Amino acid sequence: MILDIPPHMEQSIVQISKNQGISANELIMQWLHQAVKQAQNQSEELDFVGMWADQEISVDEHMTQLRKGRTF
């Protein structure tokens, strides 16, 4: 795969990877892995929101209660 990255971003990626002692490729793979994981978490939260959309309390309240350990 070839990525068309602006020179200033390329320099930043190289510098960050050097600071972390890893290759630029490894750094990009870590970032992609994190992005996929975040997207999956957001998808799971949206599924949860859809399940409870018809309830009386707000979605924010449901999420707060779920994070506190409450089960519905």
Q: How many domains does the chain have?
A: 1
State if pTM tops 0.85. Answer: no
- The answer to whether position 35 is within a domain reads yes
Task: Pinpoint the alpha helices (H) of the chain.
Answer: 7-20, 24-51, 59-67
- The answer to whether position 42 is within a domain reads yes
- The answer to whether position 2 is within a domain reads no
Q: Is the pLDDT of residue 5 over 70?
A: yes
Query: Which residues form the domain of 59?
Result: 7-69
23-67, pLDDT tens digit by residue?
A: 999 999 999 998 888 877 776 666 666 655 555 667 787 788 788
- The answer to whether position 39 is within a domain reads yes
Long-range contacts of 34-38 (CB under 8 A, 24+ apart): none
- The answer to whether position 1 is within a domain reads no
67 vs 4, 27, 54, 60, 63, CA distance in Å? 40, 31, 20, 11, 6
Residue 38 to residue 15: CA distance in whole angstroms: 25
9-26, pLDDT tens digit by residue?
A: 999 999 999 999 999 999
